[in-house]
Amino acid sequence: MTIYGAEVVLLIVLLSYSGIPCLAKVYTVGDSSGWSLGVDYKTWTSDKTFKVGDTLSFNYGSSHTVSEVSSSDYDGCSAGNAIASYTSGPTNIALNTTGTHYFICGVASHCSGGMKVSVSVSGGGGGGSGSGSSAPSGTTKPTPTPPTGTTTPASSAAFSPAVPLVFGLVLFIFKLVVS
């Protein structure tokens, strides 16, 4: 069953190239507290890294709204010139562009009462089309970078911890196939 074994190896290699780092995430704003008064959204965003393709999910009732606004309107809690407004939750908003996105509740005094959240969105992972000279800054958890196959890595220090694991698996299955 050599052919079957080869297919398994191929599958694992493909998975190791195309997998986990590219998955878009859905973030429920405020987690179980949802989109409401009395939630510290600065704290909520502080341990998260948002990427293009991720989605914000706002859970709220009829007493709240969501408006995406400019930076100055965010500071001034003004929903009058909103980029987009939503009045019926739950609302899922895809983060399709890089940069900082600003969201406030449009109900009077709710924004100044804390119903405002800003998220900094960076480029999606695993594109491989960049110049390769950019380094992630300020990230606390390591993000695995899949090898592109066309460029040789400048240093082996950038290796993801998943790579040896995958190679070990491939070696293990290869041994099974040969024996």
Positions in the binding site for Cu ion (CB under 5 A) = 64, 105, 107, 110, 115
Residue 111's CB is within 10 A of a number of other CB atoms, namely: 21
CB 45 → Cu ion: shortest distance, Å?
Answer: 18
Side-chain-side CA neighbours of 125 within 13 Å: the count stands at: 21
Q: Closer CB to Cu ion, residue 95 or residue 115?
A: 115
Tokens of 2: 């050599």
What is the rounded CA–CA span in Å between residue 91 and residue 15? 32
Which CB sits closer to Cu ion, 87 or 143?
87
Nearer to Cu ion, 57 or 148 (CB): 57
**Nearer CB in complex with Cu ion: 106/125:** 106
Contact yes or no for 119/56 (Cβ under 8 A): yes
Q: CB of residue 48 vs Cu ion: minimum separation in angstroms?
A: 22
- Residues making up the chain, counted from first to last: 179
In angstroms, give the least distance from the CB of 105 to Cu ion. Answer: 3
Edge-to-edge strands, sheet with 55-58 = 26-28, 55-58, 91-94
Given a contact cutoff of 8 angstroms between Cβ atoms, the answer to whether 86 and 65 are in contact is: yes
Task: Write down the least CB distance from residue 72 to Cu ion, Å.
Answer: 20
**To the nearest whole angstrom, how small is the minimum distance from the Cβ of residue 30 to Cu ion?**
12
Residues 135, 13: contact at Cβ < 8 Å? no
Note whether 12 and 168 are within 8 A (CB). no
37 vs 52, which CB is nearer to Cu ion? 37
